[in-house]
């Protein structure tokens, strides 16, 4: 079904004003109560931390590590699963394992699970939520909330849009819907759910909390609506601004307090609101520890069109040393070792000279015959980027990882991250991690830059904001 393009300004004019009250303090108080459930966010790539600060991120999920975080003073924590790079079979097994470990670590203490997925609807839904529910037990309600204001992803009347200027474009008409692994054909979320579940949940069975009800009645009215949904229901959260998603989060917390078991499949915005956080001031250079490194390093593996445009703009604005890894060569076992070796040598030389070095895959998207082949191509490309990072002897002053799977693999396999803290955001939707002492470059700021976030200038702006950390100016 083709959904209409809408004028954003006209749409906002016809809506009731956003709820005037502040919903967040109620969530913070609820999270701080003795016995309140810990919020556990399972993140399918590191970009889900793009809306939070001072929250731990774990890349491992052993029972002792989980027990320690469940007992900590933080309202919750993230588990980096990187499941978007896995096959469906592997991600199901992974989520069953994590759920089993959580139950063992919790030892009866309550926790709420948020399955954080992509704001443009790419990922293993419903495989991940089904796997979690299969271990944790039946859920009263599953919430679908892809709203993400920093990325201009808005949901109205259960239709998910990408805002481009003043135009709201149904997300199924964007390049994201043509993802070779996670493509889809519906912008209407009830129809998208029916499509993704193979008809196990029909569009007529999906409930949509009206935006007008949230804006006119606030959290109390929305919570009452959630409480009345039938057991096992799937609910869409409509939101066009942060205040809307905070109202929904407060309503969901109230519904949880009344006994409803809720499983969340959301983008980054609702995850942050459920943790009791909202967007804060951007980090400045004084927020980072100065490392002993030289030069800056940008590693780009994302193939979305937005990244390609941002890379071109970066080269126009800054005198970066650009090193390309040709994907076709990386897929050729005979050529691959020499290509990786030369890239490593070039990166080392650039960093030693104090330059900003861009290591990027070639921009021509190479695809395989099926989903498994595409995942394998992505794995081999990511392994090459990881190998260069892992073998670096010259520490950078900072590292920007462009793309979700790229940033996950560089963190865990290239830098050895096991636990990090989210410091905040360098740009809207672009988080910075403080790495632990176990990593190769502990004092280095690690910037997780999603492939599809920001305007054309955003990557260049990030490099500008980090330039005071360099030993030489740009």
Here the CATH number for the domain that contains residue 359 is: 3.40.980.20
pLDDT band at residue 472 under the 50/70/90 scheme: very low
pLDDT at residue 306, as a whole number? 85
pLDDT value of residue 7: 93
Q: Would you state the pLDDT for residue 171? A: 97
Q: Is residue 279 part of a domain?
A: no
Whether 216 and 363 share a structural domain: no
Decide if 159 is inside a domain.
Answer: yes
On whether both 269 and 302 belong to a single domain, the answer is: no
Burial class (CB in 10 A: 0-12, 13-18, 19+), 369: exposed
Q: Is residue 230 part of a domain?
A: yes
- C-alpha–C-alpha distance, residues 336 and 342, integer Å: 10
Residue 251 sits in which domain range? 6-274
Q: What's the distance, CA 348 to chain centroid?
A: 30
Mean pLDDT (whole number) for 445-468: 91
Domain tally, the chain: 2
pTM: 0.89
pLDDT tens track for 346-382: 999 999 999 999 998 886 766 676 877 777 777 888 8
b or e along 237-251 (b: 16 or more beta carbons within 10 Å of the residue's beta carbon)?
bbbbbbbbbbbbbbb
Within this chain, do residues 319 and 186 fall inside the same structural domain, yes or no? no
Residues 209 and 307 in one domain: no
Tell me whether residue 465 is in a domain. yes
Model confidence band, residue 448 (pLDDT cutoffs 50, 70, 90): very high
Task: Dump pLDDT digits (tens) for 97-145.
Answer: 999 999 999 999 999 999 999 999 999 999 999 999 999 999 999 999 9
We report the CATH number of the domain holding residue 185 as 3.40.50.10840
Shared domain check, 120 and 95:
yes
282: helix, strand or coil = coil
pLDDT value at 238 more than 80: yes
Residue ending a domain, choose from 252, 274, 296? 274
Instruction: Give, in order, the Cα–Cα distances in Å from 106 to each of 65, 95, 140.
Output: 11, 16, 20
Q: What is the DSSP string of 196-233?
A: HTTTSS-GGGEEEE-HHHHHHHHHHHHHHHHHTSPTTE
pLDDT of 131 reads 98
Name residues whose C-beta falls within 8 Å of residue 96's C-beta, 6 or more positions apart in sequence.
131, 132, 134, 135
**Chain-centroid distance, C-alpha 50:** 7
pLDDT score of 474 more than 50: no
Q: Tell me whether residue 280 is in a domain.
A: no
- Residues 409, 426: Cα–Cα separation, whole Å: 21
């Amino acid at each position: 079904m083709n959904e209409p393009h809408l004028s954003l300004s006209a749409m906002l004019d016809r809506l009731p004003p956003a709820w005037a009250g502040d919903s967040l303090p109620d969530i913070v108080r609820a999270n701080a109560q003795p016995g309140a459930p810990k919020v556990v966010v399972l993140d399918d790539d590191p970009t889900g931390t793009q809306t939070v600060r001072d929250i731990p991120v774990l890349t491992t999920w052993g029972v002792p590590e989980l027990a320690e975080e469940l007992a900590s003073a933080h309202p919750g924590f993230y588990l980096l699963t990187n499941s978007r790079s896995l096959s469906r079979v592997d991600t199901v097994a992974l989520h069953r394992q994590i759920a089993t470990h959580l139950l063992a670590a919790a030892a009866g203490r309550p926790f709420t699970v948020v399955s954080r997925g992509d704001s443009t609807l790419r990922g293993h839904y419903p495989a991940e939520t089904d796997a979690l529910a299969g271990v944790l037990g039946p859920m009263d309600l599953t919430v679908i909330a892809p709203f993400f204001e920093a990325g201009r992803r808005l949901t109205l009347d259960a239709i998910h849009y990408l805002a481009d200027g003043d135009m709201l474009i149904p997300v199924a008409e964007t390049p994201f819907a043509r993802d070779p692994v996670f493509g889809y054909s519906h912008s209407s979320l009830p129809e998208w759910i029916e499509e993704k579940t193979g008809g196990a949940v029909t569009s007529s069975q999906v409930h949509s909390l009206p935006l007008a009800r949230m804006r006119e009645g606030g959290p109390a009215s929305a919570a009452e609506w959630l409480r009345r949904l039938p057991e096992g229901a799937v609910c869409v959260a409509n939101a066009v601004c942060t205040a809307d998603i905070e109202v929904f989060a407060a309503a969901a917390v109230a519904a949880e307090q009344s006994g409803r078991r809720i499983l969340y499949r959301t983008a980054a915005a609702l995850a942050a609101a459920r943790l009791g956080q909202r967007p804060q001031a951007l980090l400045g250079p004084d927020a980072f520890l100065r490392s002993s490194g030289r030069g800056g390093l940008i590693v780009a593996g994302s193939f979305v069109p937005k990244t390609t445009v941002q890379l071109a703009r970066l080269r126009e604005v800054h005198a970066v040393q650009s090193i390309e890894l040709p994907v076709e060569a990386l897929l050729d076992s005979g050529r691959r070792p020499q290509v990786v070796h030369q890239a490593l040598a070039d990166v080392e030389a650039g960093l030693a000279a104090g330059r900003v070095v861009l290591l990027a895959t070639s921009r021509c998207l190479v695809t395989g015959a099926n989903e498994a082949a595409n995942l394998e191509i992505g794995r081999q490309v990511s392994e090459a980027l990881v190998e260069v990072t892992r073998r670096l002897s010259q520490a950078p002053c900072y590292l920007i990882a462009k793309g979700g799977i790229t940033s996950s693999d560089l963190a865990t396999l290239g830098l050895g991250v096991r636990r990090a803290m989210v410091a905040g955001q360098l740009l809207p939707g672009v988080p910075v991690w403080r790495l632990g002492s176990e990593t190769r470059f502990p004092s280095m700021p690690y910037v997780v830059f999603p492939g599809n976030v920001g305007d054309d200038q955003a990557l260049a702006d990030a490099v500008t904001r980090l330039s005071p950390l360099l030993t030489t100016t740009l």
